[in-house]
């Protein structure tokens, strides 16, 4: 365990770049591996989950290499031409890799075995097995529909129209990927919108894909036996990582910080909307589209924030950003109320309980409810906990650790984090960027 104390260190200034978006990193490797020809990917998030996807695509026959400057070069194998892996595919802890790659295999005449670590092996795969079985794939899974599992793909697979029983971008993506090599048109009906990175990027790689609406529900149709064309992908910065610096620069007086190349996909940009409602000064500089994804540089300047009632309908577009929003609320003028956040109790930790306890230790006034927090802000005054500072238990949760690091920047006596090592799972450069921006 590596403990660290974060304390007020002056305004955040200069220009920083946050790591690449994880969801888009996975998909760029998969789709480039399915294209015929050479794609180049820059800004890839080189975490363990994404590297598991790269290893699997190599096992299917794609050639994938990292160049010295950090660019990844992918020579694809082509839709319909996947090789049968010589051994089991170890997915580590990556649910995204597993569910999307199951979709890929389901419409190819190959057999693949998927394994994972203890955590991944406890996660439900039945939500993907059900629709892929309807398309003709067959499965031998562990008890409860979990990993390890063996999948025999169908060739030809059968196109289906599938209504998602759970709001899941991974299940949607698995069915669409199976549809790539299925004759005819495969449709997914989505009652509740989920992140749409798959649809945007598949279109960029040349798939024929239509998104429409029927009876208030989104219908996504993909035309099978697709030929994907290679594409150069610039992975946008992860909005969930940028969130910590957006809040820090908003609440630390004198700050003027630019965060380069942040993905602003509307299904992920809820925090930006909420901070602006509270009065944040965040300008989108050089807005552009990269690989079908909206991107901009964000210039964030300190501004007085005002408490609001956060609309629960926005929760899906910022579910991972609530811990750091709670920190912003603690410095606002007046009261911020959040509701509809039961999902936060079943993340890496119970994030409602963990943040209520941590912020209270740091000197914030917080009331915890079943489905959210009510926070009475200081009106911009620094948080005043005990003179010795707050010792915060992060419960091995990277987002709790980073959120309370931000709180330390506006604290009279500092915030000590019991363990900073979990931060590396999603944002290995966080500590360095924080020090760099504070010293600029």
* Interatomic CA distance for residues 395 and 271, integer angstroms: 24
Whether 348 has a pLDDT exceeding 70, the answer reads: no
More confidently predicted of 210 and 119: 210
pTM confidence score: 0.82
Task: Summarize pLDDT for 385-401 with one digit per residue, the tens.
Answer: 877 778 998 887 889 99
Q: Which residue has the higher pLDDT, 267 or 379?
A: 379
Could you tell me which residues are beta bridge partners of residue 396?
Answer: none
**Residue 306 DSSP code:** B
Residue 169: CB partners within 8 Å, gap ≥ 6? 23, 194, 195, 196, 197, 198
Closest to 170 measured CA to CA, from 203, 128, 224: 128
- Please enumerate, by residue number, every residue annotated as part of a binding site for 3-phosphoshikimate: 22-23, 27, 168, 170, 320, 347
Phi-psi region of 254 (alpha: psi -120 to 50; beta: other; left: phi over 0): left
Q: Which residue has the tokens 């670590």?
A: 117
CB 373 within 8 A of CB 345: no
- Single out the residue of 372, 348, 359, 352 nearest to residue 425, CA to CA: 348
Which parts of 106-180 are beta strand (E)? Answer: 111-115, 138-142, 146-152, 161-163
In sequence order, which residues have a C-beta less than 8 Å from that of residue 173 and are 6 or more positions away? 27, 99, 100, 103, 198
Cα–Cα distances (Å) from 243 to 141, 240, 250, 273, 318, in that order, read 38, 5, 11, 12, 10
- pLDDT exceeds 90 at position 15: yes
Calculate mean pLDDT across residues 17-30: 94
Q: How many residues does the chain have?
A: 440
Determine if the peptide bond prior to 47 is cis (ω within 30°): no
pLDDT grade for 35, boundaries at 50, 70 and 90:
very high
Q: What is the mean pLDDT of residues 62-68?
A: 98
The catalytic residue positions are 320
How are strands ordered across the β-sheet holding 415-417? 4-6, 415-417, 390-392
pLDDT tens profile 139-155: 999 998 999 999 999 99
Around Cβ 2, how many Cβ atoms within 10 Å? 12
Nearest-CA neighbor of 282 among 266, 267, 264, 268? 264
β 146-152/161-163 pair status: unpaired
- Separation in Å, CA 396 to CA 48, 66, 311, 406: 17, 31, 29, 17
Coil, strand, or helix at residue 101? helix
H/E stretch holding 195 reads none
> In 255-328, which ranges are E strands?
256-263, 281-290, 293-301
Angstrom distance (rounded) from CA 231 to CA 61? 18
**126: Cβ–Cβ under 8 A, 6 or more apart, which residues?**
141, 144, 145
pLDDT at 379 exceeding the cut of 80:
yes
Which residues contribute to the annotated binding site for phosphoenolpyruvate? 22, 95, 123, 170, 351, 399
Question: All domains of the chain, ordered by start, with CATH?
Answer: 4-20+237-439 (3.65.10.10), 22-152+160-223 (3.65.10.10)
State what percent of residues in the chain have pLDDT above 70.
Answer: 99
- CA angle at 188 for the pair 140 and 272, rounded to the nearest 5°: 110
Token pair listed for 415: 């915030």
Strands across the sheet containing 335-337: 335-337, 372-376, 365-369
Taking only the tens place, the pLDDT of each residue in 166-196 is: 888 899 999 999 999 999 999 999 988 888 9
The predicted pLDDT at position 192 comes to 84
| Cβ–Cβ under 8 Å, residues 66 and 74 | no
| pLDDT greater than 90 at residue 350 | no
Question: pLDDT tier at 81 (50, 70, 90 boundaries)?
Answer: very high
- Residue 332: phi, psi to the nearest 5? -80, 170
Distance of CA 249 to the CA centre of its chain: 22
């Amino acid at each position: 365990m590596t403990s660290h104390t974060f304390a007020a260190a002056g305004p955040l200034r200069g220009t920083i770049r946050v790591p690449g978006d994880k969801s888009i990193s996975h998909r760029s490797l998969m789709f480039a591996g399915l294209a015929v020809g050479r794609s180049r990917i820059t800004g890839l998030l080189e975490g363990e989950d994404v590297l598991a996807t790269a290893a699997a695509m190599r096992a299917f026959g794609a050639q994938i290499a990292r160049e010295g400057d950090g660019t990844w070069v992918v020579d694809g194998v082509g839709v319909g031409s996947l090789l049968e892996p010589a051994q089991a595919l170890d997915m580590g802890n990556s649910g995204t890799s597993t569910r999307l790659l199951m979709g890929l295999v389901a419409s190819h005449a190959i057999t693949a075995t998927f394994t994972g670590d203890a955590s991944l092996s406890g996660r439900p795969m039945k939500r993907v097995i059900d629709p892929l079985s309807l398309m003709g794939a067959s499965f031998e899974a562990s008890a409860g529909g979990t990993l390890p599992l063996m999948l025999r793909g169908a060739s030809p697979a059968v196109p289906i129209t599938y209504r998602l029983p759970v709001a899941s971008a991974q299940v949607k993506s698995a069915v669409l990927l199976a549809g790539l090599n299925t004759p005819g048109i495969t449709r997914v009906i989505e009652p509740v919108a989920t992140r749409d990175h798959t649809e945007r990027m598949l279109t960029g790689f040349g798939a024929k894909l239509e998104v429409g609406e029927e009876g208030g529900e989104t219908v996504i149709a993909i035309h099978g036996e697709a030929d994907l064309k290679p594409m150069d992908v610039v992975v946008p910065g992860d909005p969930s990582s940028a969130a910590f610096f957006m809040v820090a620069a908003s609440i630390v007086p004198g700050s003027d910080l630019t965060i380069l190349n942040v993905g602003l996909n509307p299904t992920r940009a809820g925090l930006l909307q909420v901070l602006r409602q509270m009065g944040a000064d965040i300008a989108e500089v050089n807005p552009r589209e990269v690989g079908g994804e909206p991107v901009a540089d964000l210039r964030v300047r300190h501004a007085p924030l005002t408490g609001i009632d956060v609309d629960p309908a926005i929760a899906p577009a910022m579910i991972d950003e609530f811990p750091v929003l709670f920190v912003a609320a603690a410095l606002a003028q007046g009261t911020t109320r959040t509701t509809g956040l039961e999902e936060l109790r079943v993340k890496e930790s119970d994030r409602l309980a963990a943040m209520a306890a941590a912020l209270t230790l740091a000197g914030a006034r917080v009331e915890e409810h079943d489905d959210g927090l009510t926070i009475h802000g200081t009106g911009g005054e620094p948080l005043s906990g005990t003179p010795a500072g707050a010792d915060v238990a992060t419960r091995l949760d990277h987002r709790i650790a980073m959120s309370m690091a931000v709180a330390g920047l506006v604290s009279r006596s500092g915030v000590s984090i019991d363990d900073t090592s979990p931060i590396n799972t999603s944002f290995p450069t966080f500590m360095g960027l924080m020090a760099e921006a504070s010293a600029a």
